[in-house]
Amino acid sequence: MHSVVVAFLIGLDRSGASPQSHSPLTHLPGHGLDSLLPARLDSDIYRADGAPSCPLDYRQLKGLFGWFRPTLFVGSTGDRFGSLIYYANNVTVQIGKPAFDGGLMRKMKAQFREWDQAEKLGVRATYVFRLLELFMFYYNATKVYLLEEHSTKLTHTHIQLYNPDYQGNAHLDQRLWKSTRRLLVPARGDEARPLAYYVGNWKSGRFDLRNARLLALATGAIMMTDVGAGGSALLPAGVVDLGHARDDAHAAEVHIAHAPYPLGRTAPSRGAATVVFSGKYVGMDLG
């Protein structure tokens, strides 16, 4: 089975200029996931066309979570180990269990109950209440969708808020574990956001971006396993060296990395967002 995948990977275009050096890619594949990947790969990265669509756009998501975590607007690192993680050009908002999000989800649910029972709300509270209502309905619908359509039990969620004109590098998410799945859904208005996938060797604890091969450029809602998201190897060591040397006998493991708005592509000047649902695979697919 390895030989089929190896032949496919060797035939892929190289990424060109190294994303690591902040150079634009020489080009990106124009194709998406349909009819592209061999059988070994299309179960690790595939379209989730039936996934519920996010009803909120970047501005609304930022406004919603900014109500509960005001530091979102000023870029403070005060919540680095709570619900917010700040990077140079994007923010991660974590929701789920208190140990994961610093109590944010619990706070959101309590606020929803308070507003739902209130006789009258101010203009600002009314606006945020409507956003919260839409988001919680969407969150719960996606939780059901994951279980019923993908046999995946939701464990935690995070929202990536990309600053205007964001550009990203390919990376692996090593926080994932075996049999974990991840659903990436673009925010409303960002359905065409490019998500690039690369395959490369994992050398000395680093992904070899310079010799990486371009796998696909995907849009829309995408399901990934821990292999597709980078948590575990696609091929073991000693199978194929994707670099110029082709020293297969001493080749490192092959992994898949991904990059939202890869170098050469930028997020809109208004900003962008992706809602990411992570879960544990609990059985055979029902579909």
pLDDT of residue 180: 87
Cα separation values, 153 from 146, 176, 225, 277, 285, Å: 7, 14, 13, 10, 12
- CA-based nearest residue to 213, from 231, 178, 240: 240
Q: Classify 185 in phi/psi space as left (phi over 0), alpha (psi -120 to 50) or beta.
A: beta
Q: How far apart are the C-alpha atoms of 6 and 165, rounded to whole Å?
A: 36
Predicted local confidence at residue 287, as pLDDT: 40
- 95 touches 101 (CB < 8 A): yes
Predicted confidence at residue 53, as pLDDT, reads: 98
Q: Helix crossing, 123-150 with 104-117: angle to 10°?
A: 120
Q: Where are the domains of the chain?
A: 2-281
pLDDT at 31: 42
pLDDT, residue 25, reads 41
Those residues of the chain that have pLDDT short of 50 are 18-32, 34-35, 285-287
Residue 75 is predicted with a pLDDT of: 61
**Would you state the pLDDT for residue 247?**
92
Residue 90 phi, psi dihedral angles, 5° rounding:
-160, 165
Smallest CA-to-CA distance from 176 within 247, 281, 71 is with 281
